[in-house]
Structure 1
Amino acid sequence: MRAILALVLREMSATYGRSPGGYVWAILEPIGGIALLSLVFALTFHAPPLGVNFPLFYATGLLPFMLFSDVQGKVANALNYSRALLAYPAVNFLDALIARFALNTLTKIVVSYVVLGGCILLFETRTTPDPVIILEAYGLAALLALGVGVLNAYLFLRFPLWQHVWSIIMRPMFLISGIFFLIDSLPRWIADWLWFNPLIHVIGRLRAGFYGTYRPDYISQPYVVGVALVCLLLGLLFLGRTYRDLLAR
């Protein structure tokens, strides 16, 4: 626990302590993105695909996507980030993974609370938030980020080219994860393909937690959990056997 806490404090200092504003930028980034999306689509459409408020609709899509994208990226690079410290016997690869996952997940959840709470307080959203469903959706997003991040932590070390390939894969994910649309409104053949994107399920579940009348029947929590756990177990298995050799290369 002391090693994990030390790594968390080091991460906080390096990520947020050296820039003016620190944690303020973690809040301003999604607010800026949501404001831009709301402005662009408000000029094009009379109402969002769900509900009556553009900022809340795009916030419920953008925030879980950002949690997944940022947390998995931090976890995936955790061993490279802490390479020097992993040479000490008191620090192992699990400490580095847990520290980065815990800090960045907690940060994104707090940011989401502030942004989503601000949308509800400042605008007429006509929503009935369900805390249980909302927490479930964020739990799914965090578990998926952990699983994919741990597997990528191995793949980035074992196959350096994969890091570039993964960055290319993540670019269209922003467009096909349901941030701008509801999968229910798409043609069936497109929806069937997008169903395999686990982020579609996460974002749909979060929106169900805010919009009481929205009950998407395509959501499969076991599918998201299964993808996350398979990635997590594979990543831990490979890293446990090879991480010291990979770091020594």
Structure 2
Amino acid sequence: MASDRNTPTERPSGDKKSGPKARSAWAVTRSVWYAMFIREAVSRTMADRMGWFWMIAEPLALVAIMTFIRSFVSGEGLIVNAEFIPWLVVGLMGFHLVREGMMRGMGAVKANHALFTYRQVQTADPVIVRNFLEGMLRTFVFLLFIVGALLLGIPLSPDDALSALFNWFSLWAFGLGLGLTLSVVATLVEEVDKIVKMISMPLLIISGVIFPINHLPHWLLEYLMWNPIPHGLELLRLGFFEDYHVVKGTSRLYLWFFILLLNAFGLMLHIRFSHKLKAK
């Protein structure tokens, strides 16, 4: 019968209503990262009213102490084709970028454990967001140091801006790889967190941050250069001082080998132990 052609359970093809379009995985990830970034930024900059002060005061205090010590120690030729204060500032800024990326990334999983109740949030997300935020803050602080040094007549502007920027990014990527790897290991094995905090200060000394390591005995220098951080710091300094003599054995390839290795290994650990990290 004609009256039976369109029953209430049937719709003509032209009247079909489509539901809401499903978002792609990348769109969901962007939304998660944006929300977490705003959360971390507010917490990082507003929770502690002295937060900005300490980000600037810590490297400034180290520079002041080392300059004071330097005034009592001879040896102007220890650093070739670079003044001591700019050389020291560049090294401190680069090292703090790596250290803070490692330390804050290491604690990101525990600090954001409550967010894992949402299935869209993966365990690697807070580590990536924290490192991105830390990189932005450290870059801003470094720019403040450069502007302040230039106003005081201290030559701290990079001679090769593109090289300096790439090497700065390389140090950030290395800190991200350390953060991704240690965030899993330190969450599953709590003693690792204490060990990493203990070695952070010796790492400052043996990475050539506050004194040049190229004048150490060759046999000792060979062992110290197994550490990728001096490679990144020397390359960063080379971007600021074009005639600077880097430590023998400095290699960008060696640095990026560790960057790619740590980032890939860290992401694989997050995939492998995702359920354990969320249950911790």
What TM-score do you get using the length of structure 2 for normalisation?
0.82
Match of 1:108 in 2: 138
Q: Deviations over 1:9-67 (max 9, x none)?
A: 21122222022254343223222221222122223236373256432121011111111
- What does residue range 161-240 of structure 1 map to in structure 2 within 5 Å? 161-216=191-246, 217-240=248-271
Q: Deviations over 1:52-90 (max 9, x none)?
A: 643212101111111100111111111111100111112
Q: Aligned with 1:84: secondary structure?
A: helix
Counterpart code for 1:19: D
**Structure 2 CA distance, aligned partners of 1:184 and 1:33?**
21
- In structure 2, stretches of 5+ residues that fail to align are 1-29
- In structure 1, stretches of 5+ residues that fail to align are none
User: Does the CA-based 8 Å contact 1:157-1:247 persist in structure 2?
Assistant: no
User: Does the CA-based 8 Å contact 2:176-2:263 persist in structure 1?
Assistant: yes
**Structure 1 CA distance, aligned partners of 2:150 and 2:240?**
10
Q: Deviations over 1:98-147 (max 9, x none)?
A: 21111011111111121133223313439762102211221221111011
Match of 2:76 in 1: 47
- What does residue range 29-40 of structure 1 map to in structure 2 within 5 Å? 29-40=58-69
What TM-score do you get using the length of structure 1 for normalisation?
0.91
Counterpart code for 1:218: G
Larger displacement relative to structure 2 (29-38 or 102-111): 29-38
Match of 2:3 in 1: none
Counterpart code for 2:137: T
Number of equivalenced pairs? 249
Q: Aligned with 1:226: secondary structure?
A: helix
Counterpart code for 1:115: F
Q: Aligned with 1:239: secondary structure?
A: helix
- What does residue range 47-196 of structure 1 map to in structure 2 within 5 Å? 47=76, 49-50=78-79, 51=81, 53-125=83-155, 129-196=159-226
User: Does the CA-based 8 Å contact 2:156-2:240 persist in structure 1?
Assistant: no
Cα 1:143/1:52, change in 2 over 3 Å? closer
Identity of matched residues, % = 24
**Structure 2 CA distance, aligned partners of 1:121 and 1:45?**
27
Q: Aligned with 1:89: secondary structure?
A: coil
Counterpart code for 1:29: E
Q: Deviations over 1:154-207 (max 9, x none)?
A: 101221111112222322101100112223222211111111111111111111
| TM-fit CA distance, 1:246 | 2.8
**Structure 2 CA distance, aligned partners of 1:53 and 1:118?**
16
Q: Aligned with 1:209: secondary structure?
A: helix
**Structure 2 CA distance, aligned partners of 1:29 and 1:21?**
12
More helix by share: 1
